[in-house]
Amino acid sequence: MNETESEKAQHQAAMKRFRTEMKASGVATPWATAVKIALQSLRIRFGRSLITVGGVFFAIAFLVSVLNSAVVEQYLNPPEESVVIRGIGVGYIVSLLAQEPRQAWLVSMSLLVCVIGIANAMLMSVTERYKEIGTMKCLGALDVFVVELFLLESGFQGLVGSFAGAIVGAFLVCMSNLVNHGFAALGVIPWGQIILNIILSTIIGVLLTLVGASFPAYRASQMPPADAMRTEV
């Protein structure tokens, strides 16, 4: 082992001991700190965050509009009795989508594009923040802290975009049916399933953002501190 490799090994060993001591002291990775840094990062990169939120918003709005349109159609314009589906819950949603494979395919593709967009945005964020990540790791931040940081950022964006998209998607479907069927539709629409669709779609949106950010977060956590500090972006 030459001198450079020896120094690198000593540096890594020293950093490992330092991180272990910081972890034992309980001050290296508090959730409150991770949340604060994540929110600050979102404020600093507000424009890019809006683009990511917009991608989630439109994907979830489309999902909710498809689900709620299928639900309302079953109640307002029921097909032949042999294929009428009634109920509430996840199984009911799956049954409706099974009847409309084309719609299910379009929804799947929109959600896949949403995940890819989130992954791309988070990878760009990691690239821009090499020195920031290196500084945090040199100060004792554990790998899990870096992962938490990026997952929290994506989770916040996913929550805002998913909930807003779900509300707007459900609202547009309701307004469309009011125009077509009048206020009498309000007494026929299954509001319980509509609300459940909003909740489930919001959860799906948040999970998708976490999936999309998982690889960028892992990549950031595995970044050697010394190399990150020397990187010019």
Summarize pLDDT for 189-218 with one digit per residue, the tens.
778 878 888 998 899 889 988 988 888 888
Answer whether residue 152 is part of any domain: yes
- Classify residue 141: in a domain, yes or no: yes
66-99 pLDDT, tens digit each: 888 877 777 666 555 445 555 555 666 666 666 6
Instruction: Please check whether residue 8 lies inside any domain of the structure.
Output: no
The reported pTM is: 0.74
Contact 67, 99 (CB under 8 A): no
Domain span at residue 105? 30-230
More confident residue, 229 or 211: 211
Q: 206 vs 7, which has greater pLDDT?
A: 206
Higher pLDDT, 95 or 56: 56
Can you give the pLDDT at residue 104? 74
Q: Write down the pLDDT at residue 28.
A: 44
| Residue 1 is assigned to a structural domain of this protein | no
Q: Is residue 2 part of a domain?
A: no
Residue 25 is assigned to a structural domain of this protein: no
Query: Over 80: is that where the pLDDT of 170 sits?
Result: yes
Q: Is residue 135 part of a domain?
A: yes
Domain count, the chain: 1
**17 occurs within a structural domain:** no
